[in-house]
């Protein structure tokens, strides 16, 4: 199948479309819930609202550290399609409990549901990435991963906007509660259309010692150089992406004097950029699973992040989306953000597909799980670093400049370990 048409064709194929819909609805629901909970926490606890939002992030990420090893083992041991349906049933149950939490405004109950959603996401991730090579040809991996990545970011954006806006409307808690249930039901229905897959390692013994098994998982990933370096690269992408996404609202509000509409515009452009870069990756590589574009995408991230950081102070007051669209410097900010995100899409999709292609089929899902552990650690470290810089009054544009400089060093390192020769996946 030609790389240029594979994405369109995949969206018509039963071996891919139900998975795409399932993961898109899951990303939407996670972010609908998280953002509605964050806004509710800010309003219900004026004194500790910001702390509760930070705690919520930790509560959602913690399961990736605790349960990724077990999630990867289960995915390799069992039919992935069946496990996906079980995770969606788990999500539906959580949304039912979450509905009670929203209607009764119970923050402890909602925090417990948020932890449960983190558990669900931990088990779903190695399934959705591990199942792609089971249903797609090698030349389709980039297109499939690009669609998954684009769908994830569009789902994140839609959930963020809906959760933030709906919870503050009249009857907001009821609306969010019912919408969460409906999205979970739709995701469960879509998951029943995913074709079954044979177990990759049916005799695999499960390990229940989380610390020991996670350490073994990391050692196994380090034993495969291509997988290990790709996982480190993806973790760096999530670290830099997390910093950019956390500083965008701060820069828009504190530097530009922007309102909620301007912040939404910036987040929308970023999500569109990641989606465009993710979908364009297959066309740029013509279906070949290779990391050869990764260093150049990394250089692009630094270049556009650097210019974005300089554009914010030069912009003056851009209060609304219309202000940004009517000002030349506003278009500069939007273009930098779009191109930065497009480079990020190419960067991450290339590496996700490379992990899938280079990992041994019997342990592919476990390698995805190892990648998830590293991703979680990178996001936490990056968040703490950004918070520490903000605590000592480093401005958001300055944090973006530091991130661009750090990423430039990483880009040089990547260029050294991914030489100009073409490295094809088998």
The CATH number of residue 192's host domain is 1.20.1250.20
Q: Please check the confidence at residue 112 and state whether its pLDDT lies above 70.
A: yes
> Is residue 80 domain-shared with residue 148, that is, in the same domain?
yes
Last residue of a domain, one of 185, 215, 245: 215
> Is residue 188 domain-shared with residue 261, that is, in the same domain?
no
What average pLDDT does the segment 405-425 reach?
75
pTM: 0.86
Q: Residue 56: its pLDDT value, please?
A: 73
> Is residue 59 domain-shared with residue 193, that is, in the same domain?
yes
> Is residue 250 domain-shared with residue 271, that is, in the same domain?
yes
Higher pLDDT, 324 or 390: 324
Q: Residue 4: its pLDDT value, please?
A: 42
Q: Residue 1: its pLDDT value, please?
A: 41
> Is residue 39 domain-shared with residue 169, that is, in the same domain?
yes
Q: Assign 138 a pLDDT band (cuts: 50, 70, 90).
A: confident
What percentage of the chain carries pLDDT values higher than 90? 63
* Model pLDDT for residues 74-89, shown as the tens digit of each residue: 999 999 999 999 999 9
Q: Residue 264: its pLDDT value, please?
A: 87
Q: Please check the confidence at residue 231 and state whether its pLDDT lies above 90.
A: yes
3-state SS of 195-238 is CCCCCCCCCCCCCCCHHHHHHHHHHHHHCCHHHHHHHHHHHHHH
Cβ(378)–Cβ(178) below 8 Å: no
> Is residue 161 domain-shared with residue 104, that is, in the same domain?
yes
Collect all residues with Cβ–Cβ distance below 8 Å to 285 and sequence separation of at least 6: 3, 142, 292, 293, 350
Q: Please check the confidence at residue 213 and state whether its pLDDT lies above 70.
A: yes
Q: Assign 2 a pLDDT band (cuts: 50, 70, 90).
A: very low
> Alpha-carbon distance 67 to 114, whole Å?
15
Question: 253, 207, 244: which is closest to 344 by C-alpha?
Answer: 244
> Is residue 24 domain-shared with residue 99, that is, in the same domain?
yes
> Is residue 183 domain-shared with residue 76, that is, in the same domain?
yes
Does residue 329 form part of some domain?
yes
> Is residue 211 domain-shared with residue 289, that is, in the same domain?
no
> Is residue 346 domain-shared with residue 398, that is, in the same domain?
yes
What percentage of the chain carries pLDDT values higher than 70? 94
* Model pLDDT for residues 244-265, shown as the tens digit of each residue: 888 888 888 889 998 888 988 9
Does residue 378 form part of some domain?
no
What average pLDDT does the segment 30-54 reach?
74
Q: How far is CA 376 from the centre of its chain?
A: 11
Give the ranges where 78-209 is alpha helix by DSSP (H).
80-104, 107-135, 141-166, 172-191
- Give the domain range for residue 4: 1-215
Last residue of a domain, one of 165, 188, 215: 215
> Is residue 103 domain-shared with residue 201, that is, in the same domain?
yes
Does residue 237 form part of some domain?
yes
Q: Residue 54: its pLDDT value, please?
A: 65
Q: Residue 46: its pLDDT value, please?
A: 55
Q: Residue 422: its pLDDT value, please?
A: 47
Does residue 364 form part of some domain?
no
Mean pLDDT taken over the chain? 89
> Which two tokens mark 188?
């469960």
Collect all residues with Cβ–Cβ distance below 8 Å to 228 and sequence separation of at least 6: 221, 222
Does residue 375 form part of some domain?
no
Tell me the torsion sign for CA atoms 7, 357, 381, 299. negative
Cβ(140)–Cβ(83) below 8 Å: no
Does residue 55 form part of some domain?
yes
> Is residue 130 domain-shared with residue 239, that is, in the same domain?
no
What average pLDDT does the segment 341-358 reach?
94
Q: Assign 52 a pLDDT band (cuts: 50, 70, 90).
A: low
Does residue 368 form part of some domain?
no
How distant, in Å, are the alpha carbons of 329, 340, 367, 373, 382 from that of 312?
8, 15, 39, 34, 21
Does residue 367 form part of some domain?
no
Count of positions (residues) in the chain: 426
* Model pLDDT for residues 350-386, shown as the tens digit of each residue: 999 999 999 999 999 999 999 999 999 998 888 888 8
Q: How far is CA 364 from the centre of its chain?
A: 19
Last residue of a domain, one of 215, 240, 258: 215
What average pLDDT does the segment 132-153 reach?
91
Structurally, how many domains does the chain consist of? Answer: 2
* Model pLDDT for residues 256-292, shown as the tens digit of each residue: 998 888 988 998 999 999 999 999 998 898 888 889 9
């Amino acid at each position: 199948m030609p790389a240029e048409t594979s994405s369109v064709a995949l969206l018509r194929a039963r071996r891919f479309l139900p998975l795409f819909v399932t993961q898109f609805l899951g990303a939407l629901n996670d972010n609908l819930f998280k953002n509605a909970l964050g806004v509710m926490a800010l309003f219900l606890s004026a004194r500790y609202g910001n702390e509760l939002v930070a705690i919520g992030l930790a509560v959602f990420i913690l399961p990736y550290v605790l349960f990724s090893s077990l999630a990867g083992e289960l995915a390799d041991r069992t039919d992935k399609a069946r496990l996906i349906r079980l995770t969606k049933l788990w999500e539906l149950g959580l949304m039912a409990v979450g509905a009670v939490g929203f209607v009764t405004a119970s923050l402890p109950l909602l925090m417990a549901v948020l932890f449960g959603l983190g558990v669900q996401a931990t088990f779903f991730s190695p399934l959705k990435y591990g199942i792609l090579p089971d249903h797609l040809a090698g030349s389709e991996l980039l297109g499939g991963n690009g669609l998954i990545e684009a769908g994830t970011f569009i789902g994140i954006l839609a959930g963020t906007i809906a959760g933030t806006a709906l919870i503050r409307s009249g009857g907001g808690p009821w609306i969010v509660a019912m919408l969460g249930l409906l999205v979970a039901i739709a995701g469960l229905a879509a998951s029943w259309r995913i074709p079954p897959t044979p177990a990759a390692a049916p005799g695999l013994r499960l390990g229940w010692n989380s610390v020991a098994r996670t350490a073994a998982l990391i050692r196994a990933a380090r034993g495969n150089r291509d997988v290990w370096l790709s996982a480190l690269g993806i973790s760096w992408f999530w670290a830099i992406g997390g910093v950019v996404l956390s500083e965008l609202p701060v820069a828009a509000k504190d530097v530009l004097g922007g309102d909620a509409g301007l912040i939404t515009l910036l987040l929308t452009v970023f999500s569109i950029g990641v989606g465009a870069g993710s979908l364009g990756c297959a066309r740029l590589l013509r279906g070949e699973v290779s990391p050869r574009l990764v260093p150049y995408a990394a250089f692009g991230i630094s270049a556009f992040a650097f210019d974005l950081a300089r554009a914010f102070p030069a912009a003056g007051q851009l209060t609304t989306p219309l202000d940004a669209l009517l000002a030349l410097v506003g278009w500069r900010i939007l273009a930098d953000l779009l191109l930065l995100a497009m480079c990020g899409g190419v960067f991450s999709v290339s590496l996700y597909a490379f992990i899938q292609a280079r990992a041994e089929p019997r342990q592919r899902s476990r390698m995805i799980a190892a990648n998830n552990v590293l991703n979680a650690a990178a996001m936490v470290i990056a968040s703490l670093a950004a918070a520490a810089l903000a605590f000592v009054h480093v401005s958001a544009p300055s944090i973006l400049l530091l991130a661009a400089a750090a990423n430039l060093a990483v880009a040089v390192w990547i260029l050294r370990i991914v030489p100009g020769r073409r490295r094809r996946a088998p």
